[in-house]
Each structure stands twice: as C-alpha cells, then as structure tokens.
Structure 1
Amino acid sequence: MSMKHGPSGEVHNYFNPYNSAFTAFKTVEDIVVGITCALANAGKVRSHVIK
C-alpha cells in the first residue's frame, strides 16, 4: 500500500501485485471484514452497537 516515489517507490512497485494503493487497501479491508463476519457467524465475536 506504499505511495512512495523515486528509487524506493520503484522497488515497491516491482513487488506490488495491485494497480494502486487504493486497490491494495480495499483488498485488505475486504479480508478483514470477511474474517470478522465469519467469526461473528461462528459466535466468536459480539457485535457492538454505537449509540
């Protein structure tokens, strides 16, 4: 999810399978939400209501 420029950015881009930092973030976010939902469905996590 790096947005670096210059030589350091070139290294990050070489090893980055995503087209943009947003796409990488969205993928990680989807995984976290998926795991959270799976645990909630298994009864391992209680949902919190914000009032």
Structure 2
Amino acid sequence: MSVHLKPKNGKEITLDDLRELVEKSKNLAGKNPVLVKVNNRSTKISDLEIDIAE
C-alpha cells in the first residue's frame, strides 16, 4: 500500500500532515519498513530526526 504525504497548505509538511499520515496508516502492520522516494529513488528509512519550528 502507498500513502502519499504532501503538504496541504504551502510547501512545508506540518504536524497536521504527519497526523493525517498516522491516521491513513493505522490498519497497516507496525513492523512494515517505510520506504521513501527522494529524487526518484526509493530507500528505506533507518533514522529520522524531526526538528519542529515554532
């Protein structure tokens, strides 16, 4: 299953966008690896650090 995450407003992904991603993926198995596409290449996420701008 693919879940697409794009910002609703503007060009930045917000916490609300991340919350929507969690809602969309609630019924998926928790141990499935997450793949991301960057510059048209897919890769698994091994580490994710999120800084929240205030």
TM-score by length of 1: 0.30
TM-score (norm 2): 0.28
> Which has the larger Rg?
1
